[in-house]
Amino acid sequence: EWLALRPAVFVFNHQSGADPFLMCALLRRDFVGIAKAEIRKNPVLRPAFAFADTAFVDRGDRAQSVAALAPAIATLRRGLAILIAPEGTRSSNYAVGPFKKGGFWIAMAARVPIVPIVVHNARDVLPKGGWLMRAATVRVSVLAPIETRAWSPADLDARVADVRERFVAALATSTS
């Protein structure tokens, strides 16, 4: 079953500030998240993310971002999973944004599968810019794991585009 798949890189579309809570409830154990460095300035979220051994990435510093992702391979080799939102940020119109390659590079380098998690309507819980969570029904689609053993740096852009299209297709068939 996909939930027991470790090591793996779990990628999810980022719709809401509630997403980290949803992902923790879904994955439950044996994973480390990757989050933007700005979270360290948030006095409410900083302790929770630090406790969870989150890796922080400065999205404005490419060299630092690549260096921060390198320990993720060691995390995978310890048998844990990585959780990352490849869009990097929530979009204001909730369309799937462009995917950054970091999580895919990690999966390819560690030769572990990618598990796409498509979150439908999490914005109903906490829209971008919102401060209060609301009761709502959120649907999650876990797509088939994608093997990365045959991937290479030369085809990474095409592979990332293919995974992104799977998210777009899954969201297009959403009932919400």
Query: What SS3 state is found at 64?
Result: helix
pLDDT the model gives residue 176: 47
pLDDT digits (tens, 9 = 90+) for 155-164: 999 999 999 9
Residue 87 CB burial class (10 angstroms; 0-12, 13-18, ≥19): buried
* Contact predicate 164/103, CB 8 Å: no
Measured torsion, CA atoms of residues 41, 101, 115, 18, in degrees rounded to the nearest 10: 30
* Contact predicate 48/24, CB 8 Å: no
pLDDT digits (tens, 9 = 90+) for 121-163: 888 888 777 888 888 899 999 999 999 999 999 999 999 999 9
Residue 115: pLDDT band with limits 50, 70, 90: very high
Q: Report which of 22, 19, 26 is spatially closest to residue 89, judged by C-alpha positions.
A: 19
Radius of gyration of the chain (CA): 15
Phi-psi category of residue 53: left, alpha or beta, with phi > 0 → left and psi -120 to 50 → alpha: left
Phi and psi dihedrals of 32, rounded to 5?
A: -125, 135
pLDDT the model gives residue 140: 92
Q: Which residues contact 100 (CB under 8 A, 6 or more apart)?
A: 86, 87, 88
pLDDT the model gives residue 130: 80
pLDDT the model gives residue 11: 96
Residue 15: pLDDT band with limits 50, 70, 90: confident
Count Cα neighbours of 158 within 13 Å in the Cβ-side half-sphere: 6
Question: Is the per-residue pLDDT at 25 higher than 70?
Answer: yes
Q: Report the chain's mean pLDDT, rounded to a whole number.
A: 84
pLDDT digits (tens, 9 = 90+) for 40-83: 777 777 776 666 666 666 666 666 666 767 778 888 898 989 99
Going 97 to 7 to 22 to 47, the CA torsion angle's sign is negative
pLDDT the model gives residue 35: 72
Q: Please compute the mean of the pLDDT values over residues 16-43 and round it to a whole number.
A: 81
Measured CA to CA, the distance from residue 33 to residue 109 in angstroms comes to 18
